[in-house]
Structure formats: structure tokens, C-alpha cells
Amino acid sequence: MNGDPIGLLGASGSVGREVVRLLRLRHPLRIGGRDLRVLQRLAAEQDDVQAHALDLNDEGALRGFVDGCRLVLNCAGPSYRVLDRVARVALAAGADYLDVGGDDPLWQRLAGRVPEGRRALLSAGMLPGLSGLLPRYLAAGLQRIDEMRCYAGGLGVFSASAAEDFLLSLDPAHGFGRARQAWRDGRAIAWNGAPAEALRRPWLGNRELLAMPYLGAEGRRLFAALDVASGCAFNLFEDGQLLACLRRIQGRGGPGEDSSGAIAGLVAASRLDAAGRTPYQVLAVELRGRSGEGDVQRSAWLRGGDGSRLTAATAAFAVECLERLPAGLHFAAEVLPPGECLERLRAWLPELRLGQGEAAAGACPVEEGAL
């Protein structure tokens, strides 16, 4: 056990609490967040855990918190509000930095600013993060990928931070992605199919979910890195209150200047959908391509419980791998070992189910013209 602590911000939230439980037996931790009582309870469960109430907007307090840490892991959100605030302070103090969110907006702020010898790892959660590792696991050893379809979604309760990030992801101006977009021959193009399609697959059991095309920044990087000829990605929803709330927001042209009502609506709708039910999250990939032995069709799926546990486990695995990674700025899905990650998550999360088989990827309806 290294003597210098890992600083964990957002430790009183649902993701942060799970990360603490996964790391506390192997690493000294310094945990910070808004709810000191929750932090103190977590610290009392294990030696070598220090608890600090912390306001991320107080830069002096933030500098004091990260001082002496070898790594700072940020689980606080929403990520568009945090941006590079924690990363800049952590890297300036000589620590490595890991963020469960961030994506392109944070990358743009950190590009060229990571000190020599230091590491900054972004998007180390379930989505983005694990959602980019599963396709790489399935694509291993292929000479060519003609078609790839990626799916992500399920049932769970939104936190206010998660709802705010989700809301912002719907607006292309924030750089997270764009609805009704697909990938063809190295560029993003318009989706020409229905805005939502009913989806039945063996990996969904007896459920029918609605698949809505959405090409995120991670999806664009994934399809480009794997040289996918034709790719599409979908958010999966149950046909319930959350989807109805989302459609109302989109029908009004977005949340407007004051997003607080839309955020509260998403949180409330997710609670109604999840009431009395077991939460679940599904990631799945279908592809068609060619290996050294000929044409192949493959599918892989991952089904877990609460999304915060999947995010926390992915982040904890990234912590375990960090010293093996090259210095510099990276997205987690592009440098973490996919197979090892899936094995570790299966060991940590008894509810996790993984499957792999043969399945054709259906053609992605697209129209020509780069966006």
C-alpha cells in the first residue's frame, strides 16, 4: 500500500461511496464532499480513510485537500460545472488526475497542459468509459469492421448531477454528441431512420426497449480508431415517464434558460419509472466484419445493476491500472485493457452478467452529407 493517499472528490455521492468501498482496503484515501456525515461514516468503516467537507468552488480549500495526494479522482458533478477546476489544481500539485466524466470539454481545456510525467485520465465511468471498452473487446483480432452498432441504457434513478449532464448532452453546442447522427466512411452523417425504434434482442430478455440514435463524442472516437465502415449508437429507454419527460423537453426546443425545472422533471420521472423495481443497465455491441478465417458476426453484452456501481467499478479499475499507463492526457476507453477490465468488474460486482455470441448488425439508415 503506497503511503501517499488518493484524494477522492464527490465521495458522499452514489458513485463516490462505491469507489471508496472498492479502494479502501488497498489504498489510503482522503475523501471529500458536501455531506460530512456521510464522509465520516465511510471513514469510520476503515483505517487510513480521512474525511474532509469540501466546496469545489473554494480553490484554497481544494489546494489544501490535494496537497500530498499521489492521485486525485473526481466523482463530483455535473461535469460541465466542474470542468477543469479540480484537474488544474491536482496537476499543479504534482498529482495524477482521473475523472469519471469530463469527455471532450475537459480534454480541450487540458490538452497541452498536463505536466511532463503526469497522467490525466478522462471519461473513466460507465458511459463514457466502459461503453468504449466493450466494443474494443469484441473487435479484438478483426482485420476489418464493416458494421458496428452500440447500445446503452436501462432503468435507474437520476441524481440531479446526472440529470443535468444528460440534459446538456442533448444540446450539440456542449460537445457531448448529437442525436440522429451515424458514422460512415470516416465521418459523421445524418441518420435517415426513425427517431426511435422498438428493440428486441436476446440480451434484453423479455423486454422491448426503445432505441434512439445518438452519436456521442466517444462513439465518434471509437468508430474512427477501429476504422469502422458504418457505425451507429443508440440510447435505450423504457417507454415510461422518463421518456415522456424527455420528449416534452425536446418538444419545447430544449430546457430554456432556466434548466432547473427540466432537471427536477427528469429526476422525478426516473423515480416514478424505477419505483418498486430493480435497477439495471445494459451495454451491448453487434458487429459484422472479417477475421483471418473469413467473414464474422459477433455480439457482446453486459448487464449490471445500478449505473453508479458500474461507473464506480470502472473508475476503481482505472486507479489500479494507472501506474501502468503512459504519461499524458488520455480517454480511459483508449488505454485501459478491455478484457482485464471486464474480468475485474465481474469479480467486484456479483450482479454483473456478461455474454458473447454471433449476431448480425443491422444496416444503419443514413443519408449522405457530412455534418
Q: Which domains does the chain have, with CATH numbers?
A: 6-122 (3.40.50.720), 130-307+352-370 (3.30.360.10)
Q: Which pLDDT band holds residue 34 (cuts at 50, 70, 90)?
A: confident
Mean pLDDT, residues 159-169 taken together: 87
Task: Give dist(CA 247, CA 266) in Å, integer.
Answer: 11
What is the arrangement of strands in the sheet containing 71-74, beginning at the earlier edge strand?
49-53, 29-33, 6-9, 71-74, 96-99, 119-122, 328-331
Contacts of 301 (CB under 8 A, 6+ apart): 201, 203, 282, 283, 284, 285, 354, 355, 356
Task: Give dist(CA 256, CA 233) in Å, integer.
Answer: 27
Give the tens place of pLDDT for each residue, 233-246.
999 999 999 999 99
Task: Give dist(CA 275, CA 285) in Å, integer.
Answer: 29
Tell me: pLDDT of 366 over 60: no
Taking Cα atoms as reference points, which of 58, 57, 51 lies closest to residue 33? 51
Sole residue written with cell 496537476: 91
Sole residue written with cell 466494443: 135
pTM higher than 0.75: yes
Tell me: pLDDT of 152 over 50: yes
